[in-house]
Amino acid sequence: MTTFKDADAFGEFDVIRRFFHRQHFTPSDLNLAPAHAQDVLLGIGDDCALLSPPPSGEVFAITSDMLIEGRHFLKDVSPTLLGHKCLAVNLSDLAAMGAKPVAYNLSIALPEIHPTWLEQFSNGLHAIADHYHCQLLGGDTTAGPLSISITAIGHVLPQQALSRNRAQVGDDIWLSGDVGDARLVLGFRRGEWQLDIPWQEKSARMDAPIPRIELGLGLRGLAHAAIDVSDGLLGDLKHILEASKVGAKVWADDVPCSDLLKNVSTELRRLCTLRGGDDYELCFTAPQKNRALIKTLSENLHLPLTRIGEIVAHSEHSPIIELWDHDHNQLPEEITQHYLKSFDHFQSL
Ligand code: ADP
Ligand code: MG
């Protein structure tokens, strides 16, 4: 690791060159497939990057997410984990569209130039970027309160894109992995509840989410619509329902969760699984005839996929989501509404 004797003499362009510009590496150093390396014709260092068009018939899928200190992460967050998370949340959106990652842009405001912090941050960032073969194209670097904005770019065939408006009545509703641990840990850290269970091992669910890229790719042609669970399962599912003009029945107690959450009260478990966010699992809808193929995909990916409900017709006289418990009783409307309130930046100021 290079050390900087005089960090004060370190300017904007030194930061870009030292921590973000990696084009002196060969494609094999970067673990990029040769075909992928050709996507970026010109990367960091010019006025614009130049990107090849997607393969025949495919289109670009483009998404942005911004992370602000104090709102999305705490001041003392590990810079390595922050580097990972800021790209992971963007890749998660590509996954939810069934898109294959190609490249990303990074805009960052830094209160000061702190070489050790930047070294760790960029290590976390480059590690996940290399893992998913996603190359840094360019960006912007400025002084200011710590904030990070990433735009990620992928490819997908438009007819296979898992867009939110494609759910159909009769579809199964599926969820990958399990949800709720990120909210459980957040609540503990905020002092909302005490936990006498070993929650620390679950911190990674909040700090180092895994974007379900392979799942998104595997669902092409199998699923109709998908969303990544970032703000809360029911609230996120509602976006699919509204866009597709349908309703849903959800089996509240079948939503998969960790053993940790199985041992807390029903109320806390439902709060964390149904309303909690930051899990970055995929919630998707698929026709019933694809159940066997989805089970095979689950086995191949070593990733549990669980049916948690079904898409139903929706009229203005019925609630958009009905929640049902273990004993096949429908939960009262006000309880459903409570769990539907997912995270909203402007309502939680
Ligand atoms: P301009 O003034 O033309 O916008 P900049 O001086 O902002 O260019 O950036 C110089 C080059 O460095 C550009 O190619 C830009 O994309 C790249 N760049 C700037 N900041 C970053 C960053 N944080 N990560 C990656 N590339 C960056
Ligand atoms: Mg610029």
- The confidence score (pLDDT) of residue 9 equals 66
The answer to whether the beta carbons of residues 339 and 325 sit under 8 Å apart is no
Q: Cα separation of 349 and 344, whole Å?
A: 9
Whether 305 and 243 map to the same domain: the answer is yes
Query: Range of 264's domain?
Result: 162-340
- The confidence score (pLDDT) of residue 190 equals 84
Measure 114 CA to ligand 1 centroid, in angstroms: 19
Whether 59 and 147 map to the same domain: the answer is yes
Atom of ligand 1 nearest to the CA of 47: 3
Q: Cα separation of 73 and 142, whole Å?
A: 19
Whether 201 and 137 map to the same domain: the answer is no
Whether 37 and 77 map to the same domain: the answer is yes
**Ligand 1 pocket, mutate which of 44, 66, 121, 126 (most atoms under 8 A from CB):** 44
Contact 46 CB / ligand 1 (< 6 Å): yes
The answer to whether the beta carbons of residues 320 and 247 sit under 8 Å apart is yes
Whether 71 and 201 map to the same domain: the answer is no
- The confidence score (pLDDT) of residue 3 equals 38
Residues in the chain: 349
Residue 286: enclosing H or E segment and its boundaries?
strand 282-286
Whole-model pTM? 0.91
The count of structural domains within the chain is 2
* Eight-class DSSP state of 300: H
Measure 280 CA to ligand 1 centroid, in angstroms: 29
- The confidence score (pLDDT) of residue 151 equals 98
- The confidence score (pLDDT) of residue 222 equals 98
Q: In this predicted model, what pLDDT tens digit does every residue of 169-201 receive, in sequence order? A: 999 999 999 999 999 988 888 888 887 777 777
Residue nearest to atom 22 of ligand 1 (CA): 139
Contact 139 CB / ligand 1 (< 6 Å): yes
Residue nearest to atom 17 of ligand 1 (CA): 138
- The confidence score (pLDDT) of residue 34 equals 45
Residue nearest to atom 16 of ligand 1 (CA): 138
Q: In this predicted model, what pLDDT tens digit does every residue of 8-43 receive, in sequence order? A: 567 888 889 889 987 644 445 445 444 455 689 999
**197 falls within a domain:** yes
Contact 16 CB / ligand 1 (< 6 Å): yes
- Residues with CB under 5 Å of ion ligand 2 are 140
Whether 204 and 276 map to the same domain: the answer is yes
**Ranges under pLDDT 50 in the chain:** 1-5, 24-27, 29-30, 32-35, 349
- The confidence score (pLDDT) of residue 347 equals 61
Residue nearest to atom 20 of ligand 1 (CA): 140
Q: Quick one: CA dihedral 15, 18, 19, 21, positive or negative?
A: positive
CATH code of 127's domain: 3.30.1330.10
Whether 178 and 314 map to the same domain: the answer is yes
Whether 149 and 23 map to the same domain: the answer is yes
Residue nearest to atom 12 of ligand 1 (CA): 45
Whether 244 and 286 map to the same domain: the answer is yes
- The confidence score (pLDDT) of residue 78 equals 94
Task: Give the ligand whose atoms come closest to the C-alpha of residue 108.
Answer: 1
Whether 200 and 133 map to the same domain: the answer is no
**Ligand 1 pocket, mutate which of 15, 48, 140 (most atoms under 8 A from CB):** 140
Residue nearest to atom 8 of ligand 1 (CA): 47
- The confidence score (pLDDT) of residue 35 equals 44
Q: Is 236 left (phi over 0), alpha (psi -120 to 50) or beta?
A: alpha
Measure 138 CA to ligand 2 centroid, in angstroms: 9
Whether 177 and 149 map to the same domain: the answer is no
Contact 47 CB / ligand 1 (< 6 Å): yes
Measure 22 CA to ligand 1 centroid, in angstroms: 13
CA angle 180, 181, 182 (to 5 degrees): 95
- The confidence score (pLDDT) of residue 8 equals 56
